[in-house]
Structure 1
């Protein structure tokens, strides 16, 4: 005991304890920390073909090495693409948002300029530059066989995190500065998953630590379910909410009553003076 007590008072004892603590903490972090997204494995042919497509169609804004190009005023023609991953490229190019037709606060969805193979090659090239989110697999996009309970859970997540911008049925909505939350109607399950993973434009990133792949899949299933439902009450008004419903009520309903009253007053029976 006296020998152990003497070693405990050794000047290097504190340093040894500190080093042991760092080793334990580092080992625990390595074991339990979430794994970072890594680039997808792609052939060298796809990477090279993607690089050639990038130099022709993208480098004028994003730079020859995808590092972005700054303007004289400190802005940029196009942001850096290093580290955005294959998922971001597949979303932006696959939905036609890139390349942009003209500079604007937000890139609208349009017909893609590149086919599926060229989009894959562009994604492979950007993914080769640095690790980033990969294109989501079936654990995100396969919504077949979802139960009513899972769809209901997806609806809860959607109403909590998405309705403020996208509307309760995913119809989209306006935002400040000329931006907007786009409609989710007609968007593929893969592109919805990629948007949640990468957070394009003003949309926040919902990582798998925030919303798990299963919950993302449930959200997508909910969006697709409400889009396929019929309008039992008649005209749905595009699902844009009570403002549109009120517009229909006043313009069509009240407007129709006013026109009917005018017609009756003009063509009704009149009392003739004797």
Structure 2
């Protein structure tokens, strides 16, 4: 009787306890992973900037800049300055320095897509350009210009000349007159550039210009270069006609043409006399 009951009792399938243990381990691992994710998310929500409070409100200058941005920039750079493919790049991280340079020099807003955006009469005032810069700065951060308008008085002209000849003269020429580059591009003249515009160009590297960060040219180095460039504009030509200060090429060409013309007239005069 007992043997019959024992034989009729169902026995667990081989490996069933191992399978149930494996399932429990997997469930426990999943629960631990979920708890860890919840804990990490809670910590991030607490310590992340603006995580619980949302985005910080814009300053009055940035609010005014946003109104200008929505009016003239949004179609090319997007609602959140993220850029629009085929129209304009992202402005996140470019900083107020780049915005001020492009807007104050009239390069932006751009009239059309071309090899290089040239300087033209600006659409906005300097104050409006700085409001636009404040909006982009608060939106995504980036390089900023030092306070003030007069940087040249803080620099050393002689040392600035050395730095300029090493870093700038190959494109802008020794006198800051600019020069041609490849593919229809060019280095513009520095004649109309202000202290802040020169500093912003060195700091942000617009278009074909390399970026000279503070690890390459310190703020004092930039002040020195600005002092030299601005001194060039007031420095007289003691030798006479400067020929645009483009260097020995124009000087040699002028001497050659004047000399050839003088020789031709001299030859004709001699021939006529003889």
| TM-score normalised per structure 2 | 0.74
Distance (Å, rounded) in 2 between the aligned partners of 1:134 and 1:144: 20
Distance (Å, rounded) in 1 between the aligned partners of 2:258 and 2:112: 38
Whether the 8 Å contact between 1:42 and 1:124 is mirrored in structure 2 is no
The Cα shift of 1:43 comes to 5.8
Query: How many pairs does the alignment contain?
Result: 219
Deviates more, 1:41-50 or 1:51-60: 41-50
**Structure 2 unaligned spans of 5+:** 1-55
Q: Pick the structure with greater CA Rg.
A: 2
Q: Indicate whether 1:61 and 2:76 are aligned.
A: yes
**Structure 1 unaligned spans of 5+:** 1-40, 71-75
Whether the 8 Å contact between 2:154 and 2:223 is mirrored in structure 1 is no
Q: Which of 77, 94, 106 pairs up with 1:84?
A: 94
Whether the 8 Å contact between 2:154 and 2:224 is mirrored in structure 1 is no
Whether the 8 Å contact between 2:191 and 2:233 is mirrored in structure 1 is yes
The Cα shift of 1:131 comes to 1.4
Change over 3 Å in CA distance of 1:260–1:99 after alignment to 2:
farther
Give the match's secondary structure for 1:88.
Answer: helix
Q: Indicate whether 1:142 and 2:188 are aligned.
A: no
1:196-207 correspondence runs (5 A) = 196-207=202-213
Distance (Å, rounded) in 1 between the aligned partners of 2:191 and 2:105: 13
Residue 242 of structure 2 corresponds to which residue in structure 1?
Answer: 236
Residue 111 of structure 1 corresponds to which residue in structure 2?
Answer: 121
Q: CA RMSD in A?
A: 2.1
Give the match's secondary structure for 1:136.
Answer: coil
Residue 46 of structure 2 corresponds to which residue in structure 1?
Answer: none
The Cα shift of 1:95 comes to 0.8
Which aligned segments of 4 or more residues in structure 1 are displaced greater than 6 angstroms? none
